[in-house]
Amino acid sequence: MVPPTTGPDGGAPLRRTPRQARSRARLALLLRAAERILVDEGVEALTTTRVAAEAKVSVGSLYQYLPDRGAIIDALAAGYFARLEGVMDDLTRAAADERWDDPVGVLVDTCAAVYRTEHGFRALWFGSGLTERTRAADREHKRRMADGVRRVLLALGVAGDDERLARACHAAVLAADALAQEAFRRTPEGDGELLDEAKTMLRGYLTEVVARHDPR
């Protein structure tokens, strides 16, 4: 897992932003330890002393970057959001060249694949104890994912750009996220039938969105 390295304004609640390679490596070590605890024991087990012990460092060393339990949760979430947004950026770049027959299927299947591999993301989101900061970061994350969907539609040349398109893409992401979370609550691999229903719903909705934003 690549640790977030921005300060509070960039969404990562670090007491100190690591700039040297050694410091970045130490933060990565701490977050890997935190993720192991999160996956194996749940979000309630994420304490500073527990993470420091798992990483085999002093609590003081952890405090240099992650001053409390909330900061650990926020930093883990920031890393997961960055991973998902990177996948969306890759899809945006690929859309125009690959000319997908089923863009909705590609988007849902690709994001579902991330859910399957990011065990920490599921453990964090389905557990209790999320901070208000993480919830706020999630809202901004969904807006960035929605912008990715908008950019995919523009890259495919099937819609003209305006504020209404952005709003529709945001609505699609909110609906897809709710269905994906329910699918992965049911089974770690994601309930395939529910994911298929999500695709059907989103295809119908985005077909209507595209029709009213036809650039021709």
- For residue range 143-194, list pLDDT tens digits in order: 999 999 999 999 988 888 889 899 999 999 999 999 999 999 999 999 999 9
Are residue 91 and residue 178 in the same domain, yes or no?
Answer: yes
Are residue 129 and residue 176 in the same domain, yes or no?
Answer: yes
CB burial string 94-117: b at 16+ within 10 A, e below: ebeeeeeeebbebbbeebbebbee
Are residue 188 and residue 85 in the same domain, yes or no?
Answer: yes
Kindly report the three-state secondary structure assignment for every residue of the chain: CCCCCCCHHHCCCCCCCCCCHHHHHHHHHHHHHHHHHHHHHCHHHCCHHHHHHHHCCCHHHHHCCCCCHHHHHHHHHHHHHHHHHHHHHHHHHHHHHHCCCCHHHHHHHHHHHHHHHCHHHHHHHHCCCCCHHHHHHHHHHHHHHHHHHHHHHHHHCCCCCCHHHHHHHHHHHHHHHHHHHHHHHHCCCCCHHHHHHHHHHHHHHHHHHHHHCCCC
CA dihedral 30, 35, 40, 46 (to 10 degrees): 70
What total of structural domains would you count in the chain?
2
Are residue 53 and residue 156 in the same domain, yes or no?
Answer: no
Residue 126 forms part of a structural domain: yes
Residue 151 forms part of a structural domain: yes
Residue 85 forms part of a structural domain: yes
Q: In terms of residue numbers, what domain contains 168?
A: 77-212
Positions in the chain short of pLDDT 70? 1-19, 213-216
Q: What CATH code is carried by the domain that includes residue 25?
A: 1.10.10.60
Are residue 170 and residue 143 in the same domain, yes or no?
Answer: yes
Are residue 206 and residue 119 in the same domain, yes or no?
Answer: yes
Residue 38 forms part of a structural domain: yes
Are residue 99 and residue 191 in the same domain, yes or no?
Answer: yes
Residue 1 forms part of a structural domain: no
Are residue 81 and residue 115 in the same domain, yes or no?
Answer: yes
Are residue 156 and residue 51 in the same domain, yes or no?
Answer: no
Q: What is the spatial distance between Cα 200 and Cα 127, in angstroms, rounded to a whole number?
A: 29
Residue 53 forms part of a structural domain: yes
Are residue 182 and residue 92 in the same domain, yes or no?
Answer: yes
Closest CA to 46 of 28, 29, 68, 24: 68
- According to the model, what pLDDT value does residue 159 have? 81
- According to the model, what pLDDT value does residue 16 have? 59
Residue 69 forms part of a structural domain: no
Residue 127 forms part of a structural domain: yes
Are residue 37 and residue 136 in the same domain, yes or no?
Answer: no
| Cα dist from 19 to 16, 58, 114, 130, 211, whole Å | 9, 20, 28, 28, 48
Q: What CATH code is carried by the domain that includes residue 133?
A: 1.10.357.10
- Give the domain-ending residue among 16, 41, 63: 63
- According to the model, what pLDDT value does residue 4 have? 47
Are residue 57 and residue 82 in the same domain, yes or no?
Answer: no
- Give the domain-ending residue among 32, 63, 94: 63
